[in-house]
Amino acid sequence: MSEAPAPTWRLGDPDGLQIEVGALGACWRSCRVPVAGGRREVLLATAATDPLPGGGGYIGSVVGRVANRIAGARFELGGREHRLIANEGRHQLHGGPGGFHARVWQAVRVTAESVSLVLHSPAGDQGFPGALQARVDYRVDAAAAAVQIDFSAEVDEPTPVAMTSHAYLNLDGDAADVRRHRLRVAAAQVLPVDAEMIPLAGPLPVAGTPFDLRNAVPLPTDAAAHPQLARAGGLDHAFLLDAACAAMRQPAAELQSADGRLAMQLFTDYPSLQVYSGQHLVHCRGRDGRVLPAFAGLALEPQMPPDAVNRPAWRALGLLAQPGRVWRRSMRLRFLAEG
């Protein structure tokens, strides 16, 4: 007998802003936004029957313990080396092959506007030290046309934590080329990467490069325009956010649909934003079961800089959770529709 599918919850106003969250991977599966008398689906999702969490592309999932790449799938903490489970060549990506995206989370609180999901991660999980109790809270703020996602964790010994949402946005609602959107990112620096997508020694000023997104511009379409774009096949880079974003009163990013009828503002207290233009989505299937085209959605992932656990300056930005303290991070997406 096959297992019953993991539960899902619909939150918000059935006639207004409404989202759907699933227990598998604490996945954000749907976000329907009122636009000109109708509603527009602005998130990519996999089919409910897809056996791979997020279709193998983390689509909509919460990733952790630590989002993005950890070089060599190892780090040192307290004078001890910790060997992680690698799942991207010799590196670990998004918490390992059995990371938080691959687990069924448990609901501990459900209302018409919110759901709170928890997950226990035992000591040694994917190679990480210490036991961890993770929590993700989704809440729809209908009055502000916003979705709030709060991440928190409690641990029994120091351990790195940097959960985030791997949702893919397409504000046109049709999975057409997301590079037609206009994007602004409040960041004067971007992290260049090596051939294995691990950050190089230091940040690169965005001025004078295709990574200068400080004013809203279409996403780059010519990978040959910069060696870093060629290396990743498009955007797949961490932007170091302006310090003013940390209070979540200034948007870290702003996105506008190609048709100009819908915009989104992203607020976060994380110091970094991974911008991924979805060039490898051709390996995934959408909610209708069909293979997705390249650039069908844009992932804006608030997080710590990649490989922060091995970089003292970045680790100090708040990567380590400590016993007796609740580790917290947040993101908020506000939608602005024409008319």
Q: What per-residue confidence (pLDDT) applies to 5?
A: 79
Given a contact cutoff of 8 angstroms between Cβ atoms, the answer to whether 72 and 91 are in contact is yes
Task: Tally the residues of the chain.
Answer: 339
> What average pLDDT score do residues 331-338 get?
95
Vertex 255 angle, CA 222 and 42, to 5°: 100
Q: pLDDT band at 103, cuts 50/70/90?
A: very high
Cα–Cα distance for residue pair 301/39, rounded to 1 Å:
24
Residue 124 domain-assigned?
yes
- In CATH, what number is assigned to the domain containing residue 160? 2.70.98.10
Helix H segments across the chain?
227-232, 312-315
Structure-token match 């120091």, residue found: 158
Proportion of the chain above pLDDT 70, given as a percent? 99
Q: Judge whether 166 counts as a catalytic residue.
A: yes
Residue 1 domain-assigned?
no
Give the domain range for residue 326: 8-337
Given a contact cutoff of 8 angstroms between Cβ atoms, the answer to whether 28 and 21 are in contact is yes
- 4-36 per-position pLDDT tens digit: 778 999 999 988 999 999 999 999 999 999 998
Q: Which of 35-39, 99-103, 252-256, 299-303 has the lowest mean pLDDT?
A: 35-39
Q: What is the distance, to the nearest Å, from the Cα of residue 264 to the centroid of all Cα atoms in its chain?
A: 15
Q: What per-residue confidence (pLDDT) applies to 1?
A: 43
Decide: residue 227, CB within 10 A, 0-12 exposed, 13-18 middle, 19+ buried.
exposed
Mean pLDDT of the chain: 95
Residue 2 domain-assigned?
no
- 260-269 per-position pLDDT tens digit: 999 999 999 9
Given a contact cutoff of 8 angstroms between Cβ atoms, the answer to whether 221 and 179 are in contact is yes
Q: How far apart are the first and last CA of the chain?
A: 51
- List, in order, residues 6 or more apart from 218 with CB less than 8 Å away: 179, 180, 181, 182, 183
Q: Judge whether 283 counts as a catalytic residue.
A: no
Q: Is the pLDDT of residue 276 over 80?
A: yes
| List 20, 94, 254, 301, catalytic entry | 301
- 56-70 per-position pLDDT tens digit: 899 999 999 999 999
> What average pLDDT score do residues 113-138 get?
98
Q: Is the pLDDT of residue 174 over 50?
A: yes
Q: What per-residue confidence (pLDDT) applies to 339?
A: 58
| List 166, 181, 237, 254, catalytic entry | 166
Q: How many separate domains does the chain show?
A: 1
Cα–Cα distance for residue pair 330/268, rounded to 1 Å:
6
Does the pTM surpass 0.95? The reply is yes
Cα–Cα distance for residue pair 36/250, rounded to 1 Å:
27
Three-state secondary structure call for residue 215? coil
- 286-319 per-position pLDDT tens digit: 998 899 999 999 999 999 999 999 999 999 999 9
